[in-house]
Amino acid sequence: MIQQKEITLPAFGRGFYLITSEIEKNLNDLPEQGVLNLFIKHTSAALSINENADPSVIDDFESFMERLVPEDTSLFSHTMEGSDDMPAHIKSSLFGTTLNIPITNHRLNMGTWQGIYLCEFRNIKHRRKLVLTIYS
């Protein structure tokens, strides 16, 4: 059986945001076993699963990504929407647009310290759409 739902997240500016609880509150009764597929419908934001306990993880993500793909560089020609435009597309491709999470005993089967993150790479706040698909 397949269940599918589209949700819109609150508007976030550039950064990494723990959205696990937002995802869970939008899931109806989960099957005993299955898989949750998350897909973000955007090319300048991404999804990630990572540590949810220490906030310095978020700071380190931001520092590393800014060093890896800097803004305000003459390297990019796709700057129609600003100097963060092309870097945001590259960062989104590096992180990815989909996640698959196992469902076991009617719950997301994630590790103790794992959380789901929205990775927003644009400076201006955007409301991002996610497709939640449950395969059981």
Q: How far is 82 from 87, CA to CA, in rounded Å? A: 10
pLDDT value of residue 72: 78
- Provide the residue ranges of all domains of the chain, joining segments of one domain with +: 2-135
Please answer whether residues 22 and 129 qualify as being in contact, where contact means their C-beta atoms are separated by less than 8 angstroms. no
pLDDT tens sequence for the chain (136 residues): 999 999 999 999 999 999 999 999 999 889 999 999 999 999 999 999 999 999 899 999 999 999 999 987 788 888 888 888 999 999 999 999 999 999 999 999 999 999 999 999 999 999 999 999 999 9
How is residue 16 written in tokens?
């990494």
Which residue carries 């597309």 as its tokens? 89
pTM above 0.85, yes or no: yes
* 131: Cβ contacts below 8 Å, ≥ 6 apart: 4, 5, 6, 37, 38, 39, 41
Q: What is the CATH number of domain 2-135?
A: 2.60.120.460
